[in-house]
A = this chain, B = another copy of it.
Amino acid sequence: METTRRDLLKGMSGMALGVVVTSGLGALVGCAPKEAQAAQATATPQPQPQFPWPYQKVDAVAAAERAYAAYYQGGCMYGAFEGILGELREKVGGPYLTFPSAMMKYGAGGIAGWGTLCGALNGAAALLYLVLDGKVANPIISELFAWYGSEELPNYKPKTPKFDTIATSAANSQLCHVSVSTWSAKSGFKTGSPERAERCAWLTASVAKYVVELLNQQADSAFKAAHNVPEDVKTCLSCHGKGGQVENVHATAQSSCTVCHTDIKPNHPSK
């Protein structure tokens, strides 16, 4: 995207930073000292843009397409984050013009290849907390995570894909390793294959699209969770979660406990 002076001015108008920079740098561009001093006198140092940053409804398919392209530039976390932020950069400008999206490349392969959290989810959650208050963002993150854990994904096919068809799977987890291995078992493709990379690219696009849909619902005050924590997980957490008899799990939600705890005996919790 080419940035024009107009974009920058439009952008800066939404930033508290504007006043400060104006006062601080006035002298450097040749203002008369008196004028610079007058500007300084009215300036209040507030370097941070207002937080959370302003959200305006963007196109979900455009975000998905941008996410798909960004995946191949910097992985799943960067893809999901930049897919949405790129749309906001163009539409809103302002603080989005300076956000260093490239930092989000760290989440690829579940953080630098460690297979932990799916980067598309990590990037989406980061974006949600950038544009929404945490109390508003949390139910949307939970909807996203529950959707990711239970739906057959990817559910978005990019307009110019590298492969015409990609198998779908329900991850039953938010973890990169579990999500990818589950898909690999179902599709028959190796985890190091280009088909797996394409699956993750489609998945990144699917996540970006769904997050924008949820954000747009929220912007219309119409967000409502459509995916819930499964009943068997609720049963586990009723004992193991906060306030339970065996309070040894620090989590309020999961898609599945038995996806890792494969050794739970049928007569559990009897010893």
Q: Which of A222-271 contact B (CB under 8 A)?
A: 242-243, 247-254, 260-263
Cβ B35 vs Cβ A248 within 8 A = no
Which stretch from A59-67, A154-162, A174-182, A205-213 is at the chain B interface? Answer: A174-182
A interface residues, tally (CB under 8 Å): 95
CB distance from A165 to the nearest CB of B (A): 20
Q: How many copies does the complex hold?
A: 2
Cβ B129 vs Cβ A196 within 8 A = no
Cβ B100 vs Cβ A249 within 8 A = no
Cβ B196 vs Cβ A250 within 8 A = yes
Cβ A114 vs Cβ B253 within 8 A = yes
| 0/1 interface trace, chain A 81-102, chain B, CB 8 Å (1 if under) | 0000000000000010110101
- Residue from the list B20, B105, B121 in contact with A111, Cβ < 8 A: B121
| 0/1 interface trace, chain A 108-136, chain B, CB 8 Å (1 if under) | 01111111110001100110111000100
Residues of B within 8 A of A113 (CB): 138, 142, 251-253
Residues of B within 8 A of A35 (CB): 29-31
CB distance from A89 to the nearest CB of B (A): 9
CB distance from A8 to the nearest CB of B (A): 5
Known: A24-B9, A100-B51, A130-B100. A177 touches B249 (CB 8 A): yes
Known: A24-B8, A176-B251, A181-B250. A3 touches B47 (CB 8 A): yes
Known: A30-B31, A98-B48, A181-B250. A130 touches B103 (CB 8 A): yes
User: Which of A20, A110, A177, A251 is the most central at the interface, judged by chain B CB atoms within 10 Å of its CB?
Assistant: A251
CB distance from A215 to the nearest CB of B (A): 14
A176 and B117 alpha carbons, distance in the complex (Å): 11
- Residue from the list B25, B95, B250, B263 in contact with A262, Cβ < 8 A: B263
Cβ A128 vs Cβ B116 within 8 A = no
Cβ B115 vs Cβ A191 within 8 A = no
Q: Which of A41-89 contact B (CB under 8 A)?
A: 43, 45, 47-49, 51-53
Known: A21-B25, A145-B114. A191 touches B250 (CB 8 A): yes
Cβ B112 vs Cβ A137 within 8 A = yes
A8 and B25 alpha carbons, distance in the complex (Å): 9
22 pairs, CB–CB < 8 Å, chain A vs chain B: A4-B45, A5-B23, A5-B45, A26-B26, A29-B36, A30-B39, A31-B35, A48-B97, A48-B100, A51-B102, A53-B100, A106-B128, A109-B252, A110-B117, A111-B122, A114-B141, A114-B142, A114-B251, A114-B252, A116-B175, A192-B242, A262-B263
